[in-house]
């Protein structure tokens, strides 16, 4: 029953770590990751990345991606689709290109370099949203464009990740011809679209009429898990299925009910274990030799999102001050990049040698982003007062 003690330690330390991080203005996820580093093999060695941690973290990442899909506002995307699409695509092309070039420069190998580009194409605007709320900028055109671009970014990067993992055959499966692999992906998206449009709404209506406790939430979990399982069968990865299950349910009238019930399940137990598991896998023994890689990749990660997003906003009619705000709002990689990094390690797309360094860069961008966003907003406000 040692796993109960491990779970108890994780929950106690992550809640206090998250509390102190929030008090000093640092994302709580950073505190949870640090708990994994401190309690894991890197320092104290109280908790090991065993089978229990593995399964709990797998459930955690599926729930986390499901929630990300639920929070995707497609209506906002429809309203601001032009600037959102422009910001998202250039905010993917720039980091993907320079991330790949950085990986190649430091001789990570072709597959790892491609993966590095995909990883730093991701964005996580949960931290940016908090800054926008604090400065009362959420309802501005800049705020809406950042949120809309985040939806596009998430969808495109999740698809790219699924294709990357499948095409490079890194999970130990048998080789599959490229044509068959692509057909499986096309089938996956056709089936998911059909289920989302016609079957999911019907299932949710049926569940709302069942005389059972939390039948709506249970049905939502059934849909999430079935989408995840189907995605895994089709070689796309379970998190891709969970994400699109969330998007499908976000289009129903049960969206807010599901969010209110699912978030406590995820954030109370499973999601903290997932972020702790990232810290448990970190090894700092050779990180001192990679300081140049960390510095270069951090600069590339920040600048490519900032510049790519800003140019994307500028060409759709924003002035440079507003464009800088939008670019800064896309810089944070946060939990999305942490998820992709963990998948890369498990899929052998990212070697253990560079895993810890990449996570350090993700943390750096997540900490830098809110300060950068506040700075660009202040500069914009100053220009408006002149």
Residue ranges of domains in the chain: 51-385
What are the two backbone dihedrals, phi and then psi, of residue 170, each rounded to the nearest 5 degrees?
-100, 5
The pLDDT, as a whole number, for residue 381 is 82
Average pLDDT over residues 343-360: 90
Length of the chain: 386
The residue behind tokens 């399982």 is: 229
Mean pLDDT rounded to a whole number for the chain: 89
Q: Are 287 and 357 in contact (CB under 8 A)?
A: yes
* Average confidence (pLDDT) over 58-72: 90
**φ and ψ at residue 319, rounded to 5 degrees:** -80, 170
Residue 172 has pLDDT above 50, yes or no: no
pLDDT at position 27: 77
Q: How far is CA 305 from CA 41, 140, 159, 213, in A?
A: 33, 20, 19, 45
Say what the pLDDT of residue 169 is. 59
pLDDT digits (tens, 9 = 90+) for 253-309: 999 999 999 999 999 999 999 999 999 988 887 788 899 999 999 999 999 999 999
Q: Is the pLDDT of residue 175 over 80?
A: no
Query: What are the tens digits of pLDDT across the range 357-380?
Result: 999 999 999 889 888 998 999 888
Assign 83 a pLDDT band (cuts: 50, 70, 90): very high
Position 170 scores a pLDDT of 53
Mean pLDDT throughout 223-230? Answer: 96
Distance CA 356, CA 36 (A): 12
pLDDT for res 76? 76
Over 80: is that where the pLDDT of 155 sits?
yes
Confidence of residue 91 (pLDDT cuts 50, 70, 90): very high
**Which pLDDT score is estimated for 274?**
93
Domain 51-385: top CATH class: mainly alpha
Residues contacting residue 35 through CB under 8 Å, at least 6 positions apart = 10, 13, 14, 17, 276, 279
**pLDDT average, residue stretch 313-336:** 92
227-237 average pLDDT score:
88
Predicted TM-score (pTM) of the model is 0.83
Reported as a pLDDT band with limits 50, 70 and 90, residue 38 is very high
The pLDDT value given to residue 106: 93
CB 359, CB 283: distance < 8 Å:
no
**187, 202, 237, 337 from 164: Cα distances, Å:** 17, 33, 10, 15
- Confidence band (pLDDT; 50, 70, 90) for 98? very high
**pLDDT over threshold 80, residue 82:** yes
Q: Which segment of 164-178, 247-261, 325-339 scores lowest on mean pLDDT?
A: 164-178
Q: Is residue 173 pLDDT above 50, yes or no?
A: no
Instruction: List the structure tokens of 182.
Output: 């692509």
pLDDT, mean of residues 196-204: 96
d(CA 97, CA 116): 10
Does an H or E element contain 327, and which?
A: helix 320-329
Q: Which residue, among 32, 131, 57, has the nearest Cα to 329 in the 3D structure?
A: 131
Q: Is the pLDDT of residue 37 over 70?
A: yes
Across the range 96-111, mean pLDDT stands at 94
């Amino acid at each position: 029953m040692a796993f109960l003690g491990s779970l108890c330690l994780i929950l106690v330390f992550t809640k206090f770590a998250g509390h102190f991080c929030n008090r000093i203005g640092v994302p709580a996820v950073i505190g949870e990751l640090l708990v994994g580093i401190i309690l894991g093999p890197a320092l104290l060695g109280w908790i090991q990345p065993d089978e229990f941690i593995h399964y709990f973290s797998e459930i955690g990442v599926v729930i986390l991606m499901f929630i990300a899909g639920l929070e995707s506002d497609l209506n906002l995307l429809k309203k601001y689709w032009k600037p959102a699409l422009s910001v998202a695509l250039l905010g993917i092309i720039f980091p993907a290109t320079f991330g790949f070039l950085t990986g190649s420069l430091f001789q990570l190998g072709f597959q790892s370099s491609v993966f590095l580009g995909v990883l730093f194409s991701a964005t996580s605007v949960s931290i940016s949203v908090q800054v926008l709320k604090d400065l009362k900028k959420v309802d501005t055109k800049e705020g809406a464009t950042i949120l809309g671009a985040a939806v596009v970014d998430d969808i495109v990067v999740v698809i790219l990740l699924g294709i990357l993992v499948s095409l490079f055959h890194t999970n130990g499966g048998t080789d599959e011809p490229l044509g068959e692999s692509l057909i499986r992906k096309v089938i996956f998206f056709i089936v998911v679209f059909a289920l989302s449009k016609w079957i999911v709404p019907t299932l949710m209506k049926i569940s709302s009429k069942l005389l059972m406790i939390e039948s709506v939430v249970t049905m939502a979990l059934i849909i999430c898990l079935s989408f995840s399982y189907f995605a895994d069968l089709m070689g796309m990865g379970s998190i891709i299925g969970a994400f699109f299950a969330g998007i499908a349910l976000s289009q129903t009238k049960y969206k807010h009910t599901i969010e209110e019930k699912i978030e406590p399940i995820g954030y109370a137990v499973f999601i903290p274990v997932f972020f702790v598991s990232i810290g448990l896998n970190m090894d700092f023994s050779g990180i001192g030799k990679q300081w140049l890689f960390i510095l270069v990749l951090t600069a590339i990660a920040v600048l490519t999102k900032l510049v790519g997003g800003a140019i994307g906003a500028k060409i759709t009619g924003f002035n440079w001050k507003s464009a800088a705000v939008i670019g800064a709002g896309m810089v944070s990689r946060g939990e999305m990049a942490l998820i992709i990094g963990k998948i890369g390690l498990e899929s052998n797309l990212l070697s253990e040698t560079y895993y810890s360094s990449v996570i350090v860069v993700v943390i750096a961008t997540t900490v830098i982003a809110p300060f950068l966003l506040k700075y660009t907003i202040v500069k914009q406000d100053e220009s408006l007062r002149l």
